[in-house]
Amino acid sequence: MEKVSIMLPTSQKTVEVNLDRKTMKTCRLKVYPTQEIVLSIPQTVPIEWAEEFLTDKSSWIESKLESFQRTSGYAATDEIRNGFSIKMLGEDMLFVLTECDKEQVYSEGKRIYICCHDPDDQEKVWKLFESWWRKQAKAILQKRAEHWYPIIEKYGVAMPKVAVRKMKTLWGSCSVNRGAITFNFYLIKARMPYIDYVILHELTHFLYPNHSKQFYMFLSNYMPDWKERKCILDQEVVHGL
């Protein structure tokens, strides 16, 4: 993977940015909690353009890196410990780990309780948590998909099957032929307006498989502020995917 070095304006620190060339029409810049910086760009974009673009975005990059440093261990998803937290529907949910004979995970208020034989066994804790989280995600996303489904039902589209899995770069994907939509495992970190944007986006693909002018016209008709929702979702809501 190509790399570009840029200097941060305040700290004067030099950081590396990975260039990920893809078949796409626009560019996408992401900063991860791990301090990794990735700029996805079309195959034909000159490296000089990428360097200039990153220089223009250097202040934003620096602010993101500093934000992740300040919140290290907070709202993280790489470790589950007492006092750590994770976003769920836009709210910070604190982890509470307890030692008990009956293994279970449940939420009360703004806390997620994980009961297990050995709270220090991260492998076991993660297994319990992810099983619980997947069920929550499936239930929430299924309900919201059913909420938006009538918009495409009148065009003779059957209710798609809803699935949840971990995806690194996508919020959702659909298979028109299989009549199925797959959503990102961590999409429910976001608040409902941003979840709804992803759901309506994927449902619209059952009428317009490509990102055509008609696709965006249809999407805009039912969600005029979809661009704002997408921007907030991509840049601010869910990091590290």
Alpha helices by DSSP H, listed for the chain, are 47-56, 58-70, 122-148, 150-153, 192-204, 213-222, 226-232
Element (H, E) at 37: strand 37-42
Reported residue count of the chain is 241
The single residue listed with the structure tokens 């975005």 is: 57
pLDDT tens digits along 108-160: 999 999 999 999 899 999 999 999 999 999 999 999 999 999 999 999 999 99
Angular region, 156: left φ>0, alpha ψ -120 to 50, beta rest: left
Amino acid code (one letter) for 103: E
Reference 236, options 101, 67, 69, 72; nearest CA is 67
Sheet of 91-99, strand order: 85-88, 91-99, 111-116, 104-108
pLDDT of residue 241: 41
pLDDT tens digits along 14-55: 999 999 998 888 899 988 767 889 999 999 999 999 999 999
pTM (predicted TM-score): 0.69
pLDDT tens digits along 162-201: 999 988 778 899 999 999 999 999 899 999 999 999 999 9
pLDDT of residue 73: 41
pLDDT of residue 95: 94
Q: Are 112 and 123 in contact (CB under 8 A)?
A: no
pLDDT tens digits along 51-86: 999 999 999 999 888 876 654 443 446 789 888 889
pLDDT of residue 236: 60
Neighbours of 234 (CB within 10 A): 15
pLDDT band at 214 (very low <50, low <70, confident <90, very high): very high
Q: Dihedral of CA 217/226/195/238: which sign?
A: positive
225 pLDDT higher than 70: yes
pLDDT of residue 180: 96
